[in-house]
Structure 1
Amino acid sequence: MITLHHSPETRSMRILWLLKELEAPFQVIPHPFDKSLRSPEYLTISPAGRVPAIEMDGESYHESGAITEILCERYPERGLGRLIGDLDRPDWLVWLHFAETITQHAAALTQQHVALRDPATRSPIVTRLEAARLAKCYAAIEGRLSTPVENRDYLLTSGFSAADIAVGQAVYLGRFFARLDEFPETAKWYQRITERPAFAEALPLPGTGLYAQDFYPAVEG
């Protein structure tokens, strides 16, 4: 049995989605996204006090990219990883870890718009800059999906994979701060992957997520 330590609308959402796609046996231990993640007990599982973390076979693992690789190798029959020797493995690794590039900008904007409750403490420069950086990430995805190859429905030519899960969840976070209006291929891809039942099952229950509104403009007011 795999145990996932999870907080809604954080990086652990991508591991929850992945576990559901893998149809792996698992249980979830929910955590509020607060200082309780720095408790001595939790720090023995995730030394930086972050989610996700998983416990499996008497060991604990943290970092969502690493966890994704570990789980895909554990369940190769599900076809969500690309193992050593697979022609698509280099691209799989690149896009899997590109999710973190997107997420760092979404995390900076989450801090500005959500964690800093007093609007006077927020930086208009930071919010505009990070929203623009998110758009550049979308442009990179758009370029990939616009490559003229047959059946470019997903990030890899070989089909849906954990790379789509990781990047898709990062875009889910990014869309609270930067829209996909100017990126039609990315918008179609995002709709395609988020129509999967496992994505819907990984969404937070009403009232349990980090975000109080659907969109946070870079310039408020």
Structure 2
Amino acid sequence: MITLHHCPQTRSMRTLWLLHEMEASFQLRSYPFDRTLREPGFLTLSPAGRVPALEIDGERMFETGAITEYLCERFSPERLGRMPGTPERMSWLVWLHFAETVSQHTAALTQQHVALYEDSMRSPIVMKLEAARLVKCYDAIEARLEDPLGARDYLLSGGFSAADISVAQAVYMARHFARTDGHPALSAWYERVTDRESFAAALPKGDGIYAQDFYAPWPVE
């Protein structure tokens, strides 16, 4: 039995998308993005009070990268995963974990734009700096997809994988703060990978963290 502990529009969406793509049987427990995650009961699942947390066969896991690696090894080693010893293993690991690089900048911007309620607590410098860092991440994805040896439809030449799920979910979040204009290969790839039933199934069914589709750096000049 698999139980995913999830907050809409957070990193746990990455795991939710993956489970739907695998057509795995699982239970979903959704939480508001608030102090509920700091309660003692939840901290037994994820000691830092973060999502995702995964219960599987009596064991508990946290950290999206570790969860993705484990689920792929167990349930989809050849399609969504790339196992040790295979030619694309190194690239799969790199891009799988690059998603967290994107997410850390998005998390900083979420704090600035959403979590901090008082304008006096916000930093225009941090907002602009982190948004610029997201664009640098887009540059890296663009360069990968526009490989000199031939443009790729997916991050790996071998086809769609959990690396695409992880990075595309991170870009889904990042697009609230940095537009993908000027990155045609990334934009085409993003439309391609999110045009899947598994992605639609992972989208929020109600309110998520973000009340706006896009948050410009503050104050708007």
TM, length-normalised to structure 1: 0.97
Cα deviation for residue 76 of structure 1 reads: 2.6
Output the CA distance in 1 between the equivalents of 2:188 and 2:53: 31
In the other structure, the counterpart of 1:42 is: 42
Cα deviation for residue 26 of structure 1 reads: 0.4
1:40-189 to 2 correspondences below 5 Å = 40-76=40-76, 79-150=79-150, 152-189=152-189
In the other structure, the counterpart of 2:200 is: 200
Is structure 2 residue 202 aligned with structure 1 residue 220?
A: no
Q: Please list the CA deviations of residues 74-111 of structure 1 after superposition, one character each: whole Å capped at 9, or x if unmatched.
A: 11366100001110000000000000000000000000
Aligned amino acid, residue 106 of structure 1: T
Question: Quick one: percent identity of the two aligned structures?
Answer: 63
Q: 1:123 to 1:77 in 2, by over 3 A?
A: closer
Output the CA distance in 1 between the equivalents of 2:179 and 2:85: 37
TM, length-normalised to structure 2: 0.97
Output the CA distance in 1 between the equivalents of 2:201 and 2:78: 18
- Contact 1:142/1:186 (<8 A) preserved: yes
Task: Kindly report structure 1 stretches of 4+ aligned residues shifted beyond 6 Å.
Answer: none
- Contact 2:176/2:213 (<8 A) preserved: yes
SS at match of 2:29: strand
- Contact 1:7/1:33 (<8 A) preserved: yes
- Contact 1:52/1:64 (<8 A) preserved: yes
* Structure 1 unpaired stretches of 5+: none
Output the CA distance in 1 between the equivalents of 2:190 and 2:106: 17
- Contact 1:22/1:78 (<8 A) preserved: no
Give the number of aligned pairs: 220
Output the CA distance in 1 between the equivalents of 2:116 and 2:70: 35
In the other structure, the counterpart of 1:21 is: 21
Output the CA distance in 2 between the equivalents of 1:77 and 1:13: 21
Output the CA distance in 2 between the equivalents of 1:113 and 1:147: 35
Of 162-171 and 143-152, the range deviating more from structure 2: 143-152
* Structure 2 unpaired stretches of 5+: none
Aligned amino acid, residue 209 of structure 1: G
Q: Please list the CA deviations of residues 115-158 of structure 1 after superposition, one character each: whole Å capped at 9, or x if unmatched.
A: 01122321000000000000000000000000034561000000
SS at match of 1:108: helix
Output the CA distance in 2 between the equivalents of 1:94 and 1:137: 13
Q: 1:86 to 1:78 in 2, by over 3 A?
A: closer
Q: 1:78 to 1:202 in 2, by over 3 A?
A: farther
- Contact 1:73/1:81 (<8 A) preserved: yes
- Contact 1:106/1:134 (<8 A) preserved: yes
In the other structure, the counterpart of 2:4 is: 4
